[in-house]
């Protein structure tokens, strides 16, 4: 079990990330921009292409350096290697009944997923001008969601493609979620954690139990998406890996959005803009805030090593996340989430399938239980 003293300093990581901007990011008048040169006719091979291969991110390093490993929880690299993508010709990627391509930007609740979605929408507006090419632009529908797709072998979820966002290291992902629900405030506000130091031990235990529950929920969220990658076109984007070359990373994800899995444009336009410039400020700030606040979160956890123990337990109890179906968002092994005012309850509600959506069908017993908060599903 880790001690607080030996745990990575994510605040230092955040400062390092800011100071070591990739060469593809340039500073202009106080704002971060990247240029994304696109060749819409040139086919790309988003490796690996097999549905059974590891995650088809921009890059997830097979052999991280010792320094990079230090930033991860003990079993986090093994967790990352379980994440799958689906980018070859056999992956489902059909339009909806109106000929529109519904593409999910799928991530747990948090500013990182929200700002990534906004950034991509801006990029698409630049490629398919909403004024000059309104019909073409409307056919590519990016939709930000925190809900996992329902089970049903690709017939029930209503998505053409899915882009999943992975925030690493995992304590950064946990912090991003907790900030969304006000457990930890961003850099412009006072942190609830600093106030909690003056409160009873009960408050510290609340923060601890919240972080533990969100850890399990994030792991199960990503596990469900990997199951969907067995049949549906899905691309995984890891923020830590993207930072190595933002321009190439966004070029790859835009290519994935605009092309079918045979390399053909899904929506043709007469004069697409192929020199896209996007502002990175909000996305960079979301990552920076989660990095810096995660260091503070870690310092408050009276059993910091429990996060590593939880990840190990989640991996071992599910055959490295291969078991179907995934574990419930409501079942924390020692208790079921029932408190409607708690953050884990709100996160579970945000992650379960969106069965009321007109494009979604929930027919599998597991999903029908999940939307009711039934952790011990017997269907």
Q: Give pLDDT tens digits along the chain (379 positions).
A: 444 444 566 666 655 665 555 545 544 444 577 777 676 666 666 653 222 334 333 333 444 444 444 467 778 888 988 988 898 888 888 888 788 899 999 999 999 999 999 999 998 888 887 777 778 888 999 999 999 999 987 778 889 999 999 998 898 999 999 999 987 655 444 455 555 455 556 667 788 889 999 999 999 999 999 999 888 999 999 888 887 778 888 888 998 998 888 888 888 776 677 778 888 889 988 988 888 888 777 776 656 678 888 999 999 999 999 999 999 999 998 889 999 999 999 999 999 999 998 988 988 889 999 999 987 776 5
Distance separating alpha carbons of residues 288 and 331, to the nearest angstrom: 31
The answer to whether residue 167 sits within a structural domain is yes
In terms of Cβ atoms closer than 10 Å to its own Cβ (0-12, 13-18, 19+), residue 100 is middle
The answer to whether residue 4 sits within a structural domain is no
Distance separating alpha carbons of residues 86 and 88, to the nearest angstrom: 6
Cβ atoms within 10 Å of 63's Cβ, excluding its own: 7
The answer to whether residue 51 sits within a structural domain is yes
| Count of domains observed in the chain | 1
The answer to whether residue 290 sits within a structural domain is yes
The answer to whether residue 139 sits within a structural domain is yes
The answer to whether residue 2 sits within a structural domain is no
The answer to whether residue 5 sits within a structural domain is no
Domain region containing 325: 10-370
Q: Which two tokens stand for residue 288?
A: 């920076």
In 187-331, the DSSP E strands lie at 234-238, 275-279
The answer to whether residue 14 sits within a structural domain is yes
């Amino acid at each position: 079990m880790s001690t607080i003293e030996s745990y990575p300093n994510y605040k230092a990581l955040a400062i390092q990330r800011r100071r070591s901007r990739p060469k593809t990011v340039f500073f202009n008048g106080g704002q971060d921009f990247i240029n994304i040169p696109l060749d819409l006719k040139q086919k790309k091979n988003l490796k690996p292409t097999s549905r059974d291969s590891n995650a088809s991110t921009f890059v997830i390093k097979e052999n991280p350096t010792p320094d990079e490993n230090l930033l991860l929880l003990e079993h986090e690299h093994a967790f990352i290697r379980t994440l799958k993508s689906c980018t070859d010709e056999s992956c489902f990627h059909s339009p909806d009944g109106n000929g529109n391509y519904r593409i999910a930007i799928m991530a747990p609740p948090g500013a990182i997923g929200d700002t990534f979605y906004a950034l991509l929408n801006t990029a698409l507006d630049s490629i398919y001008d909403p004024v000059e090419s309104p019909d073409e632009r409307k056919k590519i529908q990016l939709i930000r969601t925190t809900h996992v797709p329902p089970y049903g072998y690709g017939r029930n979820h209503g998505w053409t493609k899915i882009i999943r966002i992975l925030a690493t290291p995992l304590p950064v992902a946990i912090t991003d979620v907790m900030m969304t629900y006000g457990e930890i405030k961003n850099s412009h506000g006072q942190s609830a954690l600093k106030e909690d130091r003056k409160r009873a031990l009960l408050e510290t235990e609340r923060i601890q139990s919240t972080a533990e529950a969100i850890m399990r929920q994030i792991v199960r969220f990503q596990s469900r998406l990997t199951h969907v990658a067995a049949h549906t076109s899905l691309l995984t984007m890891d923020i830590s890996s993207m930072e190595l070359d933002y321009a190439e990373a966004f070029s790859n994800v835009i290519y994935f959005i605009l092309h079918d899995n045979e390399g053909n444009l899904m929506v043709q336009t007469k004069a697409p803009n192929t020199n896209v410039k996007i502002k990175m400020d909000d996305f960079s700030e979301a990552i920076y805030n989660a990095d810096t606040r995660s260091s503070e979160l870690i310092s408050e956890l009276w059993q910091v090593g429990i996060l590593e123990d939880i990840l190990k337990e989640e991996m071992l109890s599910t055959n490295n996340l291969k078991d179907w179906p995934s574990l419930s968002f409501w079942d924390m092994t020692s208790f079921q989430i029932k408190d409607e005012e708690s953050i884990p309850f709100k996160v579970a509600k945000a992650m379960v399938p969106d069965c009321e959506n007109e494009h979604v069908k929930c027919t599998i017993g597991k999903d029908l239980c999940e939307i009711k908060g039934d952790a011990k599903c017997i269907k």
